[in-house]
Amino acid sequence: MLKKKPRPDKTAYANSLRLLAMREHSEQQLWKKLEQREFDEIEISDAIEKLKSENYLSDTRFAESYLRSRKIKLYGPIKIRLELEERGVSGSIISAAMQHDCDEVPHDWFAIMQQAYDRKYGDSKAEDYSEKAKRCRYLQNRGFESSLITNLIKL
């Protein structure tokens, strides 16, 4: 009778590598996923420390990657910052990622907001105040600043 070989991915470290091979994760996200797979805290902690020392896990790299992907989907800086905070990324790393992104590729949040607005509403004009307010709420929910929104939509 053949004995089954133990699967090598039964360790927290192997599971983490598999997850990180698919996409970047924040430390908090990875921790939660490993907890869901019922690994104990000590094993999770050891795996995460090893991954960080080998530079396989980096909140900085995760924040930069996440920022790029959300900008492509036309979200604003407020929403992106909140989502990164929800994923356990520290405020200093978020600020550094946003600053690095600005230095690397100067972007204009107004232009990104304009694209989101045009994609949603096209050339249609907002005739009454309630329609303008609805459009403002849409842009606020996407994470754009009120000052930019009022420049785009004259109330």
Give the model confidence (pLDDT) of 85-100 as tens digits: 999 999 999 999 988 7
Give me the DSSP letters along 30-56: HHHHHHHTT--HHHHHHHHHHHHHTTS
Q: Which domain holds residue 139?
A: 109-152
Give the model confidence (pLDDT) of 36-72 as tens digits: 998 999 999 999 999 999 999 999 999 999 999 999 9
- In one letter, which amino acid is 63? A
State the Cα–Cα distance between residues 97 and 70, nearest whole angstrom: 13
Given pLDDT bands bounded at 50, 70 and 90, which one contains residue 102? low
- In one letter, which amino acid is 78? I
**What is the count of structural domains for the chain?**
2
Question: Does one domain contain both 123 and 148?
Answer: yes
Mean pLDDT score of the chain: 89
Question: Does one domain contain both 92 and 117?
Answer: no
Indicate if the pLDDT at residue 105 is higher than 60: no
